[in-house]
Structure 1
Amino acid sequence: MSAPAPHALRNSATALATVRPRCNRCWHESHWASRTQGSLLVEIVSGNPAAHSGVSGAEHAVHVSLGARMREPRTLLSFAVAALLIAFAVSRANLNMTAVGRVLSDAQLAYLVLGLLAYYVTFPLRAARWRRILASAGVSPASGYAIPGRRGLTEIFMIGQFTNCVAPAKLGDGYRGYLLKKHAGVSFPLTLGTILAERVVDLILLSTLLLASGLYVFHGSTPQDLRPWLVVGAALAVCGVAGIVFVARNGERVVRRLPERVQKHAVALERGLVTAFVRGRIGPIAALSLPVWILEGVRLMAVALAIGLDLSFGACLFIGLLASLLTAFPLTPAGLGAVESGALLALSALGVGSASAGALVLLDRGITYWSLLLVGAVVYVTSRMR
């Protein structure tokens, strides 16, 4: 997919506020210990003067610690919603937890370790892809930015995903952008634009693979209960593409109509969002994205093999992609509750028994959610101690 280069990019170099990047000593220095790490209330194009005066809006945005964020009523309510969704899914699937426990007790550890590896390999791949998207927007060491190395950028990505697991509405994506801004001196709107571009690429590939695997697994006729999710995925992808095209063609005109104090932020956001889709750049970015989604199927297959469940790779890929789509459910952290419900529904449509389905979902979410809470917390804490 390609989109025309935005007209606004011609003047973006002068429109952006230049922030001198820090010495590239490294990600693991005092940066972490000296900064408040927490939630994000992004006000890029709002009328809030504090968000656009001398200090960047991102500086004002991060003023609540992660622990405080987890204690907020909104966050607690999101976990309550997740608990209700899980209870509903268990009831609807008629799960016998004793039977599920028997299946779990026979699980083969070697396959679970393989599934765990398949999941965590995606983090450096995603970080490498983000680096390429950043480079397409002119954010690279060659341009004078102190971009972290492979390990540092992977840590940033993992902490962002960890934040998504403890706060609703994909807050971790914005937090990831904030961390890069603090380390490399990149304009926050520009960084946020690259993250939005990354999400659009994901939606395009995810919805395409989800539809293709669904048609293959169900022989051209997807079960009625699953069709709404396919429609939602396709609609989000279409909206993402339409948004990119609109911004590329009309960005300069829209920016001119904004208040002067926010124009440079809007130009930066546009630059980060659309430059990844310029002809010649999207191919390598998509090539880095494809293995990430294929590994979703590899992980599910490893978990299925761990409990002796005979599922084709196409079926595992479909379930893994559906689960990934449902992580975007905004009311709960990382789609908690929605993912479990959708996965159980898909497994039922594939004729998998309730005990095996319940065990598969528990083990897979143990990898993609609960293990990330542990690993992400360790990365978060140790990075602050360096």
Structure 2
Amino acid sequence: MAGTKELDRKPLTERNRPHVEDPSIERLAEVAGHTDELAVRRQLFGWRELVSTIIPVALIAFFARNVNWGEAIAALRGSDPLYVLAALGVYYLSFPVRAVRWARLLREGGHHIEGRDLLRILMLGWFVNCLVPAKLGDLYRSYLVKRRFGISLSRTVGVVVAERLLDLFVVFGLLVVDGYVAFGRTVLPDLNILYVTGAGLGVVILLGLAALYALGPRIARFFPGEVRRISRLFREGVLHSFRALPVAGPLTLLVWFFEVARLLFVLSALGLHLPPSQVIFVAVASSLLTTVPLTPAGFGFVEIAMVYVLTTGFGLAQNDAIAVAVLDRAVSVFSVIVVGGVLYVRSQRSDRIGGGP
């Protein structure tokens, strides 16, 4: 009520004044605007990107020191190209669904944008995430939305955070339920880290949302006016997005249906078969590890975990498990680098002639 009274005392012209970001936020946006360009330039030359590449390569080299790569390569050569195309097809079907979900979340803040207008921006964000660590692609796509549609960067980042939270809720739910179906009461000891990580993320998320809702406005009053304004926009971006849960929830489930279908087609391409519960578990467990901020798209951690679960947990031969990991990541990461690279070049060209992102 106090906030409402304060708002009512402000002149109408001040209330309708468009939001202008703090200069520090604008500088952050400019940095985000160059994120994709920096990612392309530094992937080979930047020391941070070099470290983020050395870490997974060292991990893979250590765990794969006794691997018979000849058998794994032979399995990859024998893959069915039709199933590989099917895996690519269902994977890329998830992006329009993600774009529609993103548009629906933004609509809760009063911004009516169509999913098709966000699709290319979403793909560019995924492209950056595949090149650099720390999910910088999410910041980049938030900046692109700000630049093209004039939405506050802090609000847009809040919406992207809400989008990621929806994915984490679904992933952890599937991990718990499907893990019980796949393993029964005997879970591999080394897989406990997945459950601990998921449970820890869930607790942190719930506590963070509660603090954002209950304590955010009280704490904000101790900060300068512009900081309060930015935090309010971020808070609204996160919390208002959950009003769209009746629509965004089913769309999130559909996204993960496509993710699981991708892995199913990858297995079929290699002539392998696993029960649906095991396919779901491998898909969601590997997706959870993509949140590791040390490497681009969880490179190194995802592949090792996938091979471990497929061999120790579900009894696949080591060469087959390696072939699954390599082919699945080729579909979900390497193809995004190729497609995103094309979109990046086109967007740079359109920018030079005065087009939008």
Same fold (TM over 0.5): yes
User: Matches of 2:247 and 2:183 in 1, distance apart?
Assistant: 31
Q: Which amino acid aligns with 1:72?
A: G
User: Matches of 2:241 and 2:203 in 1, distance apart?
Assistant: 17
CA drift at 1:63: 5.0
Judged with a 3 Å threshold, the aligned counterparts in structure 2 of structure 1 residues 264 and 111 are, in CA distance, closer, same or farther, namely same
User: Matches of 1:75 and 1:152 in 2, distance apart?
Assistant: 31
Q: Which residue of 2 aligns with 1:372?
A: 336
SS of aligned partner of 1:181: helix
Consecutive unaligned residues in structure 2, runs of 5 or more: 351-357
Q: Which amino acid aligns with 2:272?
A: L
User: Matches of 1:341 and 1:286 in 2, distance apart?
Assistant: 30
Match of 1:254 among 210, 213, 219: 219
Match of 2:259 among 296, 306, 312: 296
CA drift at 1:224: 0.9
CA drift at 1:380: 1.3
User: Matches of 1:355 and 1:61 in 2, distance apart?
Assistant: 40
SS of aligned partner of 2:64: helix
Q: Which amino acid aligns with 1:203?
A: L
User: Matches of 1:183 and 1:268 in 2, distance apart?
Assistant: 18
Q: Give matches, 1:148-297, under 5 Å.
A: 149-278=114-243, 281-297=244-260
User: Matches of 2:106 and 2:294 in 1, distance apart?
Assistant: 29
CA drift at 1:229: 1.0
Q: Which residue of 1 aligns with 2:29?
A: 58
Is the 8 Å Cα contact of residues 298 and 313 (structure 1) preserved in structure 2?
Answer: no
User: Matches of 1:287 and 1:17 in 2, distance apart?
Assistant: 36
User: Matches of 1:105 and 1:76 in 2, distance apart?
Assistant: 30
User: Matches of 1:184 and 1:160 in 2, distance apart?
Assistant: 16
Judged with a 3 Å threshold, the aligned counterparts in structure 2 of structure 1 residues 166 and 11 are, in CA distance, closer, same or farther, namely farther
After TM superposition, the score normalised by the length of structure 1 is 0.82
Judged with a 3 Å threshold, the aligned counterparts in structure 2 of structure 1 residues 15 and 336 are, in CA distance, closer, same or farther, namely farther
User: Matches of 1:15 and 1:292 in 2, distance apart?
Assistant: 39
CA drift at 1:60: 5.6
Judged with a 3 Å threshold, the aligned counterparts in structure 2 of structure 1 residues 156 and 122 are, in CA distance, closer, same or farther, namely same
Is the 8 Å Cα contact of residues 200 and 241 (structure 1) preserved in structure 2?
Answer: no
Is the 8 Å Cα contact of residues 102 and 115 (structure 2) preserved in structure 1?
Answer: no
User: Matches of 2:101 and 2:338 in 1, distance apart?
Assistant: 24
User: Matches of 1:264 and 1:87 in 2, distance apart?
Assistant: 48
Judged with a 3 Å threshold, the aligned counterparts in structure 2 of structure 1 residues 330 and 57 are, in CA distance, closer, same or farther, namely closer
Q: Percent identity?
A: 35
Consecutive unaligned residues in structure 1, runs of 5 or more: 1-6, 21-43, 141-146
Is the 8 Å Cα contact of residues 60 and 300 (structure 2) preserved in structure 1?
Answer: yes
Q: Which residue of 2 aligns with 1:74?
A: 48
- Relative to its length, the structure with more helix (as a share) is 2
Cα offsets for 1:131-179 (capped at 9, x unmatched):
1111112222xxxxxx3x4333111111101100111100000001000
Is the 8 Å Cα contact of residues 164 and 171 (structure 1) preserved in structure 2?
Answer: yes
CA drift at 1:242: 2.0
User: Matches of 2:151 and 2:176 in 1, distance apart?
Assistant: 37
After TM superposition, the score normalised by the length of structure 2 is 0.89
User: Matches of 2:248 and 2:124 in 1, distance apart?
Assistant: 22
Is the 8 Å Cα contact of residues 89 and 340 (structure 1) preserved in structure 2?
Answer: no
Is the 8 Å Cα contact of residues 50 and 60 (structure 1) preserved in structure 2?
Answer: no
Q: Which amino acid aligns with 2:234?
A: L
How many pairs were matched up? 339
Q: Which residue of 2 aligns with 1:356?
A: 320
User: Matches of 2:287 and 2:133 in 1, distance apart?
Assistant: 15
CA drift at 1:345: 1.1
Q: Which amino acid aligns with 1:111?
A: Y
Is the 8 Å Cα contact of residues 128 and 150 (structure 1) preserved in structure 2?
Answer: yes
Match of 1:336 among 281, 288, 299: 299
User: Matches of 1:316 and 1:232 in 2, distance apart?
Assistant: 20
Q: Which residue of 1 aligns with 2:355?
A: none
User: Matches of 2:33 and 2:82 in 1, distance apart?
Assistant: 41
User: Matches of 1:157 and 1:17 in 2, distance apart?
Assistant: 29
CA drift at 1:323: 1.2
Q: Which amino acid aligns with 1:251?
A: G
Is the 8 Å Cα contact of residues 16 and 267 (structure 1) preserved in structure 2?
Answer: no
Q: Which residue of 2 aligns with 1:104?
A: 76
Judged with a 3 Å threshold, the aligned counterparts in structure 2 of structure 1 residues 315 and 181 are, in CA distance, closer, same or farther, namely same
Q: Which runs of 4+ in 1 moved over 6 A?
A: 12-17
Aligned-residue Cα RMSD (Å) equals 2.3
Cα offsets for 1:1-46 (capped at 9, x unmatched):
xxxxxx89x96997896259xxxxxxxxxxxxxxxxxxxxxxx9xx
Judged with a 3 Å threshold, the aligned counterparts in structure 2 of structure 1 residues 15 and 237 are, in CA distance, closer, same or farther, namely farther
Is the 8 Å Cα contact of residues 177 and 191 (structure 1) preserved in structure 2?
Answer: yes
Is the 8 Å Cα contact of residues 89 and 341 (structure 1) preserved in structure 2?
Answer: yes
